[in-house]
């Protein structure tokens, strides 16, 4: 994937043209640096955020509030063909090559586009999860070389190994085992507190046993229903 242009239908937005060859650098003004050494107002973070926005990121609350009806357009080339994605600030409008598309379908298209070779045997791989490792948007994304913001440690290591071309079958197996173990722990905790689940378990999976158990329960539930009162009626 090679980025070509980032534009907007609002005249105050300055179109960003990406260099056809080599790198495109957005450099801040050294004279306008803040106390922490950063240079604000140039458009570095905004440009990266808008690229994420057009490439299927979750709704950005700041964009949704500030410019809900602005339409941002990202042009890029892939395997020798040019594409464009247009998305409004609030995310309600989304187009792929000027044809309306849902966010889920766009993410599916990106997964199948061939930007990344996604191995179906490796869990947790998607265009979004891998792209975010190259285009780290927030400060939290840059704190750890293996993890991005809100990413589980197992997922971060697995995706990093995959991008490095390392055999990650053992890491994938560990993740599956960990997920299964968490499900068992959750079920165990539910069993301790859910009386209905205990009753169902005691009744067994045999249909005949289950039927007999339900026949015993129906009279009891019917009696409770008839005797149920929301509040005591007091005469005036």
pLDDT digits (tens, 9 = 90+) for 101-123: 999 999 999 999 999 999 888 88
Q: Residue 88: its pLDDT value, please?
A: 97
189, containing H or E segment: helix 169-193
Q: Which residues of the chain does CATH 3.40.50.300 include? A: 1-115
Contact 58, 39 (CB under 8 A): no
Q: Residue 81: its pLDDT value, please?
A: 95
Q: Residue 102: its pLDDT value, please?
A: 97
Contact 76, 2 (CB under 8 A): yes
Angle at 114 between CA 108 and CA 115, to 5 degrees: 95
Q: Which residues of the chain have pLDDT under 50?
A: 236
d(CA 108, CA 110): 5
Instruction: Give the CATH superfamily of 1-115.
Output: P-loop containing nucleotide triphosphate hydrolases (3.40.50.300)
Give the residue carrying structure tokens 């040019």: 82
d(CA 6, CA 85): 10
Tokens of 185: 């722990």
d(CA 207, CA 210): 5
Q: Residue 191: its pLDDT value, please?
A: 67
What are the residues whose beta carbons fall under 8 Å from the beta carbon of 83, sequence distance 6 or more? 75, 76, 77, 96, 97
Q: Residue 236: its pLDDT value, please?
A: 46
């Amino acid at each position: 994937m090679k980025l070509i242009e980032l534009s907007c239908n609002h005249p105050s937005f300055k179109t960003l043209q990406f260099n056809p060859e080599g790198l495109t650098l957005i450099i801040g003004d050294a004279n306008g640096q803040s106390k922490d050494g950063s240079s604000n107002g140039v458009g570095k973070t905004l440009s990266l955020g808008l690229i994420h926005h057009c490439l299927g990121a979750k709704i950005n609350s700041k964009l949704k509030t500030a410019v809900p009806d602005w339409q941002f357009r990202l042009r890029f080339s892939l395997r020798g063909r040019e594409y464009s994605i247009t998305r409004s600030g609030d995310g309600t409008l989304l187009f792929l090559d000027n044809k309306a598309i849902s966010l889920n379908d766009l993410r599916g298209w990106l997964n199948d586009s061939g930007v990344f070779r996604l191995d179906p045997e490796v869990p947790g791989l998607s265009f979004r999860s891998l792209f975010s490792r190259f285009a780290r948007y927030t400060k939290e994304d840059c704190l750890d070389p293996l993890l991005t913001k809100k990413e589980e440690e197992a997922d971060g290591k697995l995706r990093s190994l995959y991008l490095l071309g390392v055999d990650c079958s053992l890491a994938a197996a560990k993740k599956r085992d960990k997920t299964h173990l968490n499900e068992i722990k959750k079920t165990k905790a539910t069993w301790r507190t859910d009386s209905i689940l205990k009753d169902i378990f005691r009744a067994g999976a045999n249909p005949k046993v289950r039927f007999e158990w339900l026949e015993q329960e129906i009279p009891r539930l019917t009696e409770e229903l008839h005797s149920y009162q929301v509040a005591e009626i007091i005469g005036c």
